[in-house]
Chain A
Amino acid sequence: MLKELRVVTEPDGGTGHCGMGERDTEDQGLNRRTLLKASLACGGIAGLAACADRVALPLPPPRFGKKLLMPYRASPDRIIDIKCCIRPFRPQGPRLDAERVGDKLVVHNYGHSGSGWSLSWGSADVAVEKARTALPRRMAVIGCGIIGLTSAITAQRAGLDVTIYARDLFPRTRSVRASGWWTPSSRIALTAAAAPDFADLWERMARFSWKTYGSYLGLADRPVDFCDSYFLSDLAPGESRPRRYQERDGDYASTGMPQHQSEFADYTARINDVEPRSHRLTASDNPFPVQSGVQSSTMFFNFSSMGHVLLSEFREAGGRIEIREFHDPSELASLPEPVIINCPGYAARDLWRDSSLIPIRGQTGWLVPQPEVTYALRYRGVMVLPKSDGVMIHNVDPNDMGDLYGLGDSNELPDRADTEDAVRIIAELFSRLPA
């Protein structure tokens, strides 16, 4: 049974955090929620004032033609690739427990949903620390996506001799079909299904990853980078419009699938102190042809260079890679290593028969690289990011479903029409600029 339409409301000002993550379900409607959470995390009204004090430095007003904000050349004929992936979502959060398979100790490290890249280093640290309790000198890692690679390198940094066993190597893994934003809380768990201490674990992983990715800033080819980001809207602050998605009855507990955006956990406020803050654009410093906007900065990962950096680092430290596919957990018994970190991503559903994994389909379009564009934006549910390996365009939320969009869908075939829709939305935005 369908319920009433919800209303998307524009932010009415304020200062706070404004990540470009996938979980915000409308251009700015949920920014209000994000901003509100940010203010609460800072201690309510008094805290908000304190936060504002901290970020009171005026931003230089960007200007097209003056500040050199170059427009995106959004056109369907500039699409060079469309990538689909399945986010491996576990309502409980990532699987990080250990079990015995024959005489092997297997530490699981999968089920990071839309937060795999962002949480990878922290999750690897948790998994490797567990594995080290068995005092191994050699370790096997199953899988060569971002979780497998970071687990392998983390184990090497702990002094272990590591072999990766994988069917596919980076960049032919699902990790490279992600969007590559810093989104550590993107569909990471359901509040009701996660263990009581998961929020603390998430915070530890997020902080560890943030620090580690920071160590990759400033390198040649920019494996990790930052840019300004803008949330843009045609609505004025305080304006609202009907939400297009009609929510359903029930919830995860009663149906086995989340039915509401509000069921997804959002831990972002726990790391407010390290993420860049956001600022409402005033009419005089808004360079875009829209009613309102919020500016922040976002961290992102350039897949091509990051893949090369990580594989090189792994091999230079003596790491070995063996192409191998496992069809049953019992086959792990044949490995020479006594301890295994298991990072199969969504494939765990088949290999480990883990029915707790729920697919969430995601698709990104890639346009011809535009190195002259140095900012990200989100407008009408479409995110655009100027990565070194192409302009990434992501139709995050075309119908106001928010985190429910793509839930239960394991179709990895590209849908070009979806990407073209997103491109046209951005093209229309820039067509408003004066010639």
Chain B
Amino acid sequence: MTTRYAVWIAIALPATLSAVASADTTTLSGVYNEAQARRGADLYALHCALCHGASLSGSYEFPSLTGGFVARWAGTPLDRLVDYVNRAMPLHQPGALSSAESVDLVAFILEKNRFPSGTGELSTDANSLGHIQFRAPERLLP
């Protein structure tokens, strides 16, 4: 019985995370997975690297997407970041990214800021994203 219960958890949990995050879910909870971050990396190279740089370090004119980026978004629900990417980015063609592409990009940015990955993917569902708090990572950047 215990084994069967554990198997059910293993199967159901990723899907559950994707659907509705619990009230205390944060960016430290493993809210994306590596496959999603890899898709986000490809999108980043295509749409974002020209301005924000290949290493996400930004420039004098364009903001960094690591380091101070965390301070800019800490304390907000993740739906605001995803919504911002979806509406406003890339600057020269705002609105060009689909919802799925926007969450993949956010997954990549979370990975580059050393937030832990998990087993499930970040959902495009605004309600689910709204229950994930953006927190500071526990591991510092190298």
A327 (CB) vs chain B CBs: closest residue: B80
Contact with A along B68-111 (1 / 0, CB 8 A): 00001100100011001001100111100000000000000000
The answer to whether A328 has its CB under 8 Å from any CB of chain B is yes
The answer to whether A411 touches B76, judged by C-beta atoms less than 8 angstroms apart, is no
The answer to whether B61 touches A411, judged by C-beta atoms less than 8 angstroms apart, is no
The answer to whether B60 has its CB under 8 Å from any CB of chain A is yes
The one of B73, B81, B88 that contacts A350, using a Cβ cutoff of 8 Å: B88
The answer to whether B50 has its CB under 8 Å from any CB of chain A is yes
The answer to whether B35 has its CB under 8 Å from any CB of chain A is no
Told that A349-B88, A350-B87 touch, could you supply 19 new A-B pairs with CB distance under 8 A? A83-B61, A84-B61, A172-B60, A177-B61, A325-B72, A325-B73, A327-B73, A327-B76, A327-B80, A327-B81, A349-B94, A350-B88, A350-B94, A409-B92, A410-B92, A412-B51, A412-B92, A413-B50, A413-B92
Contact with B along A65-90 (1 / 0, CB 8 A): 00000000000000000011000000
Chain A residues with Cβ under 8 A from B94's Cβ? 349-350, 410
Shortest Cβ gap from B78 to chain A (Å): 11
The answer to whether A204 has its CB under 8 Å from any CB of chain B is no
CA A367 to CA B93, docked complex, whole Å: 30
Chain B residues with Cβ under 8 A from A413's Cβ? 50-51, 92
Question: What are 15 A-B pairs with beta-carbon distances under 8 A?
Answer: A84-B61, A167-B63, A327-B76, A349-B88, A349-B94, A350-B87, A350-B88, A350-B94, A410-B91, A410-B92, A410-B94, A412-B51, A412-B61, A412-B62, A412-B91
**Dominant secondary structure at the A interface:** loop
Using a CB–CB cutoff of 8 Å, the interface residues on chain B facing chain A are: 50-51, 60-63, 72-73, 76, 80-81, 84, 87-88, 91-94
Chain A residues with Cβ under 8 A from B76's Cβ? 327
Number of A-B contacts (CB under 8 A): 37
**Size class of the contact patch on chain A:** 10 to 19
Chain A residues with Cβ under 8 A from B50's Cβ? 413
Chain A residues with Cβ under 8 A from B60's Cβ? 172
Contact with B along A140-174 (1 / 0, CB 8 A): 00000000000000000000000000010000100
Chain B residues with Cβ under 8 A from A172's Cβ? 60-61
A86 (CB) vs chain B CBs: closest residue: B91
CA A325 to CA B73, docked complex, whole Å: 8
Contact with B along A317-353 (1 / 0, CB 8 A): 0000000010110000000000000000000011001
Chain A residues with Cβ under 8 A from B63's Cβ? 167
Chain B residues with Cβ under 8 A from A353's Cβ? 87
Chain B residues with Cβ under 8 A from A328's Cβ? 80
CA A208 to CA B72, docked complex, whole Å: 36
The answer to whether B72 touches A167, judged by C-beta atoms less than 8 angstroms apart, is yes
CA A84 to CA B62, docked complex, whole Å: 11
The answer to whether B73 touches A411, judged by C-beta atoms less than 8 angstroms apart, is no
A167 (CB) vs chain B CBs: closest residue: B72
Q: Which residues of A100-151 are within 8 A (CB) of B? A: none
Among A172, A327, A411, the most chain B Cβ lie within 10 Å of the Cβ of: A327
Shortest Cβ gap from A299 to chain B (Å): 27
Chain A residues with Cβ under 8 A from B84's Cβ? 327, 350
Chain B residues with Cβ under 8 A from A411's Cβ? 91-92
CA A325 to CA B60, docked complex, whole Å: 17
B50 (CB) vs chain A CBs: closest residue: A413
CA A409 to CA B51, docked complex, whole Å: 15
Chain B residues with Cβ under 8 A from A349's Cβ? 88, 94
CA A410 to CA B91, docked complex, whole Å: 6
